[in-house]
Amino acid sequence: MGQRNKTLVTYDPGEFRRKFNLVIWLMLLAFAFLTGKMWYLQIVKGGELLQRSKDNRIRLQEIRPLRGLILDARGRILVDNQASFDISIIPETAKDVKGVIDRLSSIYDDENIDLARNFTASRKRKPFVPIKLAKNIGRDRLALIETNSLNLPGVMVDVVPVRKYIFGETMAHILGYVGEISIAELAKDVVGDYNAGDVIGKLGIEKTVDRYLKGERGGEQIEVNVSGRKLNVLGRVDAVPGYNIQLTIDADLQKICWDAFQERAGTVITMNPRDGSILSLVNKPSYDPNLFNRGISDDDWRSLLNNPLSPMQNKAISGQYPPGSTYKPFIAAAALEEGVVDPEHKVVCNRVYPVGTRTFRCWSKRGHGPTALHRAITESCDVYFYDIGTKIGVDTLADYARKFGFGIRSGIDLPGERSGLVPTREWKLQRFKETWQTGETVSLTIGQGFVLVTPLQLLRAYCALANGGILYQPQLIKAVKTESDEIVKEFPPVEISRIPVSREHIDILKYALWGAVNEDHGTGRALRRPERDVCGKTGTAQVIKMAQDDEKIKKEDVPYKHRDHALFVCFAPYRDPEIAVVVIVEHGGHGGSAAAPIARKIIDGYFDLKNRGAAVTLPTGQGGPTRREN
């Protein structure tokens, strides 16, 4: 019997233990990894993930407050609010963002929806915070969004209040406009009143009293489903609307001023001399503040910036012009107070006035002959003021000019005001390293040379003459009110100072200004009314220095930007003035022919408004003088 060879299979216990240990270690490592991951997710990232979980179910949605209304002096609405609709997307809810955007573009039939820039700028945003896709979409596109909402997960519509500037460009430089807060503006907000995305005032009254207009934001806690759709409101804090602002502006008078100026470039301001309140303020050309509501287009912005007539500039407070002959009453005031002349003192005007090697001329080709103060203002004799001005001296003239409010900001409730320039010997030495020359004083006496004024400064100084010597701070804001018309804060008149000119001398100047409008040879005859109640002064200010025989040059032969500015300042009625007007027509030529007719329309319009529906009649005793009142 054959014997089989048998192979015995033996197991090495050591090898088995090694494999067993390897499996155990792998299990331990896997368990440790899972434990570590759970620890990381629950301990390290637990708070964040919990918040993300809540955000996926419960969200806080900001409720923006309505900005307060802006009203005119009679309570009529100048700035209102209207609804605007924005589209936003929540990427975490949309998931396939590109697909949602493609569907949205096809619904809109618009290939211009581009989120690349928004997503790049929003990489550090919090989860589930919406990203803005489009602003002010209009009700037709809103309907398309609502109709296709099931195919647009993550897309939401926000109702955003925007400003409506009812009078458009007519009041742009008073009201200003609003826009989204910038990074620089946020950095200045140390109190924390503003958040990114807030709308704030950028110019005008919107900026000046933004703290009153903005209101207080609210919010609501809402429950949403996995698609981000609103299911329930869990809690709500209503927004508090801003206060209403009532201005001193009269909308009807503003429209009169706007229409009177027609298509010319320049500015018109009207003020109540009794308290400094601004009744109207017009700049031309202007701009439509509604363009800025949701972000102005590049084309519109370039058009405004590249316009040589500067429609964005508030010329009433930041335009600086030579005052021309409208400056002469203040030279006369200094001469009277300093005793350099008396009202009867005469200067012989033969048209020429030599100073060293130079000869200065009067505007009148034949001269005015022997001329006293009244006629010098009425007929605007240059030689008279050359003579008395050089006797006073530049520094004394500067001192009186500053007391009338020139060379300093008035403090009006608008940003961007400039101070003008009142030159002195010291100023010229510091600025040019040169000494003052007598010929420069001669130019100064007729409002030329270095002196520069803003239209508002010029008007305020004439108001001080009109009211007997009180220099008021110009005022645009009348009151801050609640929705129910309760007064929160009032803005009473602010008296800055009393000018150092006697009432007797003021009356002499007022009578001369009355003569400039109402006497046969007055330079402001274009403003003469049947009531003979207006006092005023013309001015023609050179933009560039012209040759001595410049009267031979025709206006149309001079480039527009080199033509003279036309000025006119007036107030009425004579006895108890209640309105003062300044008109500056840029490159308009002579004040009597270009600016005075505009002022006439405004004065007529004002009294027509006051006596609406009846013939223009003044109260007893408010007309012009019945005799010379010195």
Report the catalytic residues: 325
Q: Is the peptide bond before 370 cis (omega within 30 degrees of 0)?
A: no
Here the tokens at position 306 are 């590249």
DSSP lists the bridge partners of residue 81 as: 163
β-pairing, 58-63 vs 218-224, is antiparallel
DSSP per-residue codes, 438-490: HHHHHHHHTT-TT-BB-HHHHHHHHHHHHTTSEEEPPB-EEEEE-TT--EEEE
The DSSP element (H or E) to which 170 belongs, if any, is none
List the one residue out of 213, 223, 273, 209 whose CA is nearest residue 80.
213
Question: CA–CA separation, 75 vs 252, rounded Å?
Answer: 12
Residue 61 dihedral angles phi and psi, to the nearest 5°: -115, 125
Residue 314 dihedral angles phi and psi, to the nearest 5°: -85, 90
> What is the four-CA torsion angle of 224, 225, 227, 228, rounded to 10 degrees?
10
Q: Which residue has the tokens 């907000």?
A: 189
Q: Which residue has the tokens 């807030």?
A: 198
Instruction: Count CA within 13 A, CB hemisphere, residue 254.
Output: 25
Question: CA–CA separation, 173 vs 196, rounded Å?
Answer: 26
Question: CA–CA separation, 299 vs 582, rounded Å?
Answer: 34
List the one residue out of 124, 104, 107, 126 whose CA is nearest residue 115.
104
User: Residue 159, SS3?
Assistant: strand
The DSSP element (H or E) to which 74 belongs, if any, is none
